[in-house]
């Protein structure tokens, strides 16, 4: 009986699922069950939704996993093992542009300005429209509509891939960059990536393996790479946020630990520079005093 299902019963159900399955998998059960009970409330079968007081576990390991990313050397190892030209171009684009998967899959050749080295982001692919394998929608947020300058490695790979596309029947500027008449299958990048990582890691000790990340972690990798180079080059957190299509507040919230480290580096660098200046000044004074002492001794 639906009216006899209690909050405690449902909480135990969720806890048991969490022992066996990933958080993403359990969340699907959690929200679907809650929707069923909401339907019951809306239709007066029950008075309250018992799922409203059921909580998902906060798994600290899952939070850390959320922020997995590849250092440039890890990405280099991965990309060198990719032998499919389309997939290689796709991963290079993600890593050096920081776009979301849906934004990247929605790209058409008309969105890429090779003359000014800019990519226009203003749409996204979703697979969540009922009755359709995919749909083109507006991007995630208002800030997501943006023009992103290309690195040379991105431009060179896109130009080479476009030459391949031009030889295919029916090519036009409306063709999808990754795919052709329609976008690349939504799950293909993840499946192909896992296959390549397994080949790279096969037989290697744990400390020589590359991490298994998600497709969205290419975006984290790009952001982390930029944040770690803020002090080296002349750009700010605002520039990074604009490139990613986020607000500065969202950027700081998502990558708080890295900005904290960057802040420490700034202080240490300035203080070390000050210490070096003091040392140089002291050495100059000592040198000057040494010459003065020599003069006194000579006079005596």
Helices (H), the chain: 7-20, 23-42, 60-66, 72-80, 85-97, 101-105, 152-166, 188-201, 217-228, 237-244, 248-254, 256-299
Per-residue pLDDT at 287 exceeds 70: no
pLDDT digits (tens, 9 = 90+) for 32-62: 999 999 999 999 999 999 999 998 886 545 5
Q: What is the mean pLDDT of residues 204-215?
A: 92
CA distance 121 to 99: 9
**How confident is the prediction for the chain on average, in pLDDT?**
86
Per-residue pLDDT at 262 exceeds 70: no
CB atoms within 10 A of CB 28: 12
pLDDT digits (tens, 9 = 90+) for 111-128: 999 999 999 999 999 988
Q: Quick one: what percent of the chain has pLDDT higher than 70?
A: 82
Per-residue pLDDT at 102 exceeds 90: yes
Q: What's the Cα-to-Cα distance from 63 to each of 57, 209, 256, rounded to whole Å?
A: 11, 22, 13
Per-residue pLDDT at 63 exceeds 50: no
């Amino acid at each position: 009986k639906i009216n006899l299902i209690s909050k405690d019963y449902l909480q135990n159900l969720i806890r048991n699922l969490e022992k066996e399955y990933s958080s993403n998998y359990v969340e699907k059960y959690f929200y679907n069950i809650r929707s069923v009970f909401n339907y019951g409330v809306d239709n007066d079968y029950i008075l309250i939704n018992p799922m409203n007081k059921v909580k998902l576990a906060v798994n600290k390991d899952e939070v850390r996993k959320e922020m997995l990313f590849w250092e440039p050397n890890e990405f280099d190892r991965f990309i060198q093992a990719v032998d499919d030209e389309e997939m290689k171009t796709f991963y290079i684009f993600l890593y050096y542009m920081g776009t979301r998967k849906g934004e990247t899959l929605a790209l058409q050749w008309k969105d890429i300005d090779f003359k000014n080295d800019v990519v226009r982001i203003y749409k996204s692919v979703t697979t969540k429209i009922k009755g359709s394998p995919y749909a083109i929608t507006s991007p995630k947020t208002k800030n997501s509509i943006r023009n992103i300058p290309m690195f040379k490695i991105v431009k060179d790979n896109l130009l080479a891939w476009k030459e391949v596309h031009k030889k295919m029947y029916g090519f036009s500027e409306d063709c999808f960059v990754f795919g052709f008449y329609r976008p690349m299958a939504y799950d293909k990048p993840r499946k192909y990536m896992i296959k390549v990582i397994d080949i790279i890691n096969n037989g290697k000790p744990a400390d020589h393996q590359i991490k298994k990340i998600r497709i969205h972690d290419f975006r984290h990798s790009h952001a982390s790479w930029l944040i770690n180079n803020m002090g080296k080059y002349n750009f700010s957190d605002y520039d990074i946020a604009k490139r990613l299509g986020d607000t500065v507040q969202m950027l700081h919230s998502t990558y708080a630990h890295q900005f904290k480290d960057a802040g420490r580096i700034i202080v240490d660098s300035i203080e070390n520079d000050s210490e070096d200046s003091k040392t140089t000044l002291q050495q100059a004074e000592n040198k000057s005093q040494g010459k003065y002492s020599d003069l006194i001794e000579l006079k005596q």
